[in-house]
Amino acid sequence: MSKVTVTDLKTKKEAGERITMLTAYDYPMAKAIDEAGIDIILVGDSLGMVVLGYDDTLAVTIGDMIHHTKAVNRGVKDALVVTDMPFMSYKTGDISQTVKNAGRIIKESGAQAVKVEGGSEVVAEIEAVVKAGIPVMGHLGLTPQSINQFGGFKVQGKESEAAQKLITDAKALEEAGIFALVLECIPAVLTKEVTEAVEVPTIGIGAGKESDGQVLVTQDLLGIFANFTPKFVRKYADLNDEIKTALKDYKKDVETGEFPSQKESF
Ligand code: KIV
Ligand code: NA
């Protein structure tokens, strides 16, 4: 494989090939994901929940995103690296500050693109960031930075008015210059409509199979983050259980004098 670029993704959509994306927040996981041949690594602000232990994504800072993206980047050869712009680093009404924040993330972290949440309300900012030469990924549906407006992590776009708005937003984002669009927690039928309505690739999470690609939080699919598992997650492993078993075995071996053995000693 060679380095995945934003233009490769559109080529994939046109060829009917599925796009794969997973999140990473550190070097070893990024390296494993890259070596598995996943197209896109997202340094998501889910960082706040699955790594930093917050209840939501709101407290994550630009500094946090840069710190973790740098670690991710050291493990990546081929995957396209996208970093989330955290809450309040855009949509503040100060477009030039948004461009500076996006620029700082790219320059200091080495990511190739940024992701922002939202529809028509964020179009002017996306246009400005794209104009600065920074590729932008969009994100519609359940946008976790707006959790306090949604009143919880709930499926979005169920009513026909909300569905219509989501399609209008998707077109507006495409017009603004996004290279791909994440659709989170929306009905599968709406995903199909959006995916047909735009030329940019759609990447779904909890959005059915009709998107051009899929993304999951790696800690969910590996069963590392055990606080809760959303309905849309398929657990490909239960590492939290395995880790706890290993740790208890270690404790037992130390306490009984079973570890270290002669072979493990100098
Ligand atoms: O932060 C994140 O992990 C995300 C994905 C769920 C799309 O935004
Ligand atoms: Na995110």
Question: pLDDT category, 228, cuts 50, 70, 90?
Answer: confident
Q: What is the ipTM of this complex?
A: 0.99
Residue nearest (by alpha carbon) to ligand 1 atom 4: 44
Residue nearest (by alpha carbon) to ligand 1 atom 8: 44
From 41, 45, 68, mutation site for ligand 1 pocket: most ligand atoms within 8 A of C-beta: 45
Question: pLDDT category, 227, cuts 50, 70, 90?
Answer: confident
What DSSP string describes 134-175?
Answer: --EEEEEES-GGGHHHHTSS-----SHHHHHHHHHHHHHHHH
Q: Note the pLDDT tens digit of each residue in 85-106.
A: 999 999 999 999 999 999 999 9
Residue 202's pLDDT is what? 98
Residues ≥6 apart with Cβ < 8 Å to 17 = none
Closest Cα partner for 16 from 232, 212, 261, 219? 212
More confident residue, 247 or 152: 247
Report whether 90 contacts 101 (CB < 8 A): yes
CATH class of the domain at 6-235: alpha beta
Angle value at C-alpha 13, between 190 and 205, nearest 5 degrees:
45
From 19, 20, 26, 42, mutation site for ligand 1 pocket: most ligand atoms within 8 A of C-beta: 42
Is 125 part of the annotated catalytic residue set? no
Q: Note the pLDDT tens digit of each residue in 17-41.
A: 999 999 999 999 999 999 999 999 9
**Domains of the chain by residue range:** 6-235, 239-266
Residue 226's pLDDT is what? 84
**Which ligand is the nearest neighbour of the Cα of 206?**
1
Tokens coding 120: 């028509």
Distance, CA of 52 to CA of 55 (rounded, Å): 9
Residue 105's pLDDT is what? 98
Q: Mean pLDDT throughout 4-17?
A: 96
- Which ligand 1 atom lies nearest to the CA of residue 44? 1
Q: Note the pLDDT tens digit of each residue in 52-82.
A: 999 999 999 999 999 999 999 999 999 999 9
Q: Which long-range contacts (CB under 8 A, 24 or more apart) does 217-223 make?
A: 217/22, 217/23, 217/44, 217/46, 217/50, 218/22, 218/23, 218/24, 218/29, 218/33, 219/23, 219/50, 219/51, 220/50, 221/22
- Which ligand 1 atom lies nearest to the CA of residue 144? 8
Residue nearest (by alpha carbon) to ligand 1 atom 3: 44
Active site residue: 159, 175, 184, 199, which one? Answer: 184
**Residue ranges at the known binding site for Mg(2+):** 45, 84, 117
**Which ligand is the nearest neighbour of the Cα of 145?**
2
Is the pLDDT assigned to residue 1 strictly greater than 80?
A: no
Ligand 2 ion: residues within 5 Å (CB): 44-45, 84
**Residue ranges at the known binding site for 3-methyl-2-oxobutanoate:** 45-46, 84, 115
Ligand 1-lining residues (CB < 6 angstroms): 23, 42, 44-46, 84, 182, 184, 205, 215, 217
Task: Work out the angle between the directed axes of helices 160-176 and 188-197 (0-180°, nearest 10).
Answer: 30
